[in-house]
Structure 1
Amino acid sequence: MTSSTALKICVLLSTYNGEHYLAEQVHSILTQTGRGTAFTVQIYIRDDGSSDNTLKIIQQLTNDHPDTVFLLTDDLGNAGVRASFLQLVKHAPNDAALYFLADQDDVWEPNKVQVFLEYYAQTTQALPIGLYSDLWVADQNAQVTGQKMSQVAHWQQLTIDYEFLSFNYRITGAAFAFNARAKELLALISIAEINASNMHDSFFALTIAACGQLIGIADPLVRYRQHAHNVVGAAGHHKTWREHWQSAFAFPGQKIFNNVLLNEFLHRQHLRLRTAHETAVMADYLAYYHAAHCWQRWQAALMIKAHISQPHPWLNVAKLMVTNVTKPYQLPQN
Structure 2
Amino acid sequence: MKKFFALALTLVLALSMVGCGQKKEETPAETPAETPAEETTKEYNISVILKTTSSEYWGYVVAGAEAYMADHPNVKVEVKGATSETAYDEQQNMIETDMNNADIDGYVIAPLQADMVANMIAGQTKPIVAVDTNIDAPEVLSFVGTGNEAAGKLGGEAAAKLAKERGWTEIKCIEIAGVQGDSTNEARMAGYKAGIEAAGGTFLSDETQYANAVADQAVTCMEAIMQNHPEGIAVICANNDDMAMAAARAAAGNEAYKNTVFLGFDGIQSACNSILANELTMSVCQEGYSMGYNSVDAVVRALEGETLDKFIDAGASIVDPSNAQERLDQLKGYLA
Superposition TM-score, scaled by structure 1 size: 0.27
Question: Whose radius of gyration is greater, 1 or 2?
Answer: 2
Superposition TM-score, scaled by structure 2 size: 0.27
Q: Decide which structure has greater helix share.
A: 2
